[in-house]
Homo-oligomer: A and B are copies of this chain.
Amino acid sequence: MPDTAIIPGSAQARVRVRYRIRSSAADIDAIALAVAVEQSVEVPLDVVRDPWVREHIVGRVEDITPAGAGYYAVDISLAADSMLGADGVPSVAQTFNMLFGNSSMHDMVELQDVGLPDGFAQHFGGPRFGIDGIRELLGVDTVTASARALTCAALKPQGLPVAELARLCRTFARSGIDVIKDDHGLADQHYAPFAERVRACQRAVAEAERETGRRVLYAPNLIGAPHLLAAHAGLLRDEGVGAALVAPMLVGLPAFHELVGDHLDIPVLAHPAFCGSARIDRTLLLGRLYRMLGADAVIYPHYMGRFAWSEALCGEIAQAALAPWAGIRRALPVPAGGMTVERVPELLHFYGSDVMLLIGGSLLQAGDSLAARTRAFVQAANAARH
C-alpha cells in the first residue's frame, strides 16, 4: 500500500490501514464502520459530542473492495496524531494498539497493510546498516558486478556445551561463512551460559579472522526482559562482537526498537520466532515493520523447507525488505528454515545476489565433514554471481 503523503502532527495527517475481513455482502458496511470506531474512539458514535473528535479522531471508512469469496479489503484511515506522543514522535506500542489492538480480538479481521504519512517510518529509523552496511562491514564489494550473495550458518543444537559451540563456530569461520548466528533457542541456559558462550565464540571468530584475513560476523541471540537485553548488549560491545540476533515478537516490538536504538551499534538480524502467532500479513510484519523498527537483516522460512510458506510470499517478503521506502535503508533478506547446499543455485536464481543464504541443520548433518560441507556451501553461493 503506498504511504500517504501528509505530514504527521497536523490534524489532517491520516494513517491508512487495510484490514482483510470475512463477511457477507449484507454485513460488510456495518462491520467496516464498527472496526473504524473500535480502532479509534471505541464508544458508540452518539457519545462523541466533541466536534473536533468527531472530525479528526474517529476512524473513517475510506474504501471497501471485494477480495475473493466471502472476504473484503477494508481501508480505514486513523488520525496519525493518535499514534504520536505529545512530542510528535510515534510510539511503537501505541501504533500497534491503533492498528490492531482491539480488532485483533475479532476472528474475522486480519491486519493486511498500512500506509503511513511522510516522516512516520523515518521517525522509527529503520536499519542502521541494512544490506549495504552489512556488505561493507564484511568487505564485500557492493559496487562492481562482483557483488555476491552472503552466507550464514547457525550454532546448534541447544544443549551442547560452550566448547562444542565454539568449535562449530571456528569451523564455520574458517570455511568462509560470512555470518554465524546462534540458534534462536540459545538463551542463557546453564549448559551454555550467555557470557561464556559469547566470549568463546567471538574468540573463535577472531582467531579465524586473523588466520584467513576475512571478516566474519558472529551474531549471538539476545533474548530476555529489557534490562537483561541492555546488559547483554553491553557484553557484546565489550567483547567486540560484530552482529546480534533478536526475535522482535519474542522480546516485544517496543523493547526490540528500544534495544536497537539505545543499546546496539552493530547489524541486527531479526528472527521470525513467535511471528506466526500474529494474525498480521507476513510481508507487512517481516518485510516492512521489522525493517522500519531497525532490523538490518530479516530471517524467514523459505518455501519447500520446514514451513509451508509459499514461493510467492517469500518473494514478496524479500521485495518488501529491499524496496525503496521512506528514505530508510534496505534490509537484507535471509531465507532459511531447512535449506540445503544442493538448493543454493535455485535460491540464487530466485533471489539474485541481494540475499544472505542461511543453512543450519543440514550443514551439521555432515558430521566430521563439516568444514568441507561448509566450504561447498560458500563456493556454491559465490559461484553464481549476478
Contacts and interface: CB of A to CB of B under 8 A. Distances in A.
Interface of A: 34, 38, 40-44, 46-50, 52-53, 56-58, 79, 81-88, 91-94, 96-98, 100-107, 156-160, 164, 183-185, 187-191, 193-194, 223-228, 247, 250-258, 262, 272-280, 301, 306-309, 360-362, 364-365, 367
Which residue, A85, A91, A160, A250, has most C-beta atoms of chain B within 10 A? A250
A83 to B, nearest CB: 8
Nearest to A280: B277
Contacts of A107: 276, 308
Contact of A82 (B100, B103, B189): B189
B225 A52 contact: no
A158 B38 CA distance: 11
B279 A277 contact: yes
Contact of A190 (B86, B97, B101, B225): B86
Contact of A257 (B81, B87, B225, B306): B225
B98 A276 contact: no
Residue from A48, A105, A275, A364 having most chain B Cβ neighbours under 10 A: A105
Contact of A275 (B94, B104, B367): B104
21 contacts: A40-B158, A41-B157, A43-B157, A43-B365, A44-B361, A50-B160, A57-B158, A57-B191, A58-B159, A82-B159, A82-B187, A92-B225, A94-B224, A104-B274, A105-B309, A224-B254, A225-B255, A226-B258, A254-B255, A277-B280, A279-B279
Q: How many copies does the complex hold?
A: 2
Given A42-B157, A361-B44, A105 B301 contact: yes
Nearest to A251: B93
A50 B164 contact: yes
Contacts of A183: 42
A279 B280 CA distance: 11
A106 B276 contact: yes
- With most chain B CB atoms within 10 A of its CB, the pick from A50, A102, A257, A307 is A102
A252 B92 CA distance: 11
Contacts of A156: 41-43, 47
B276 A105 contact: yes
A277 B306 CA distance: 23
Contacts of A82: 158-159, 185, 187, 189
A367 B254 CA distance: 37
Contacts of A160: 50, 53
A159 B79 CA distance: 10
Contacts of A104: 273-277
A308 B254 contact: no
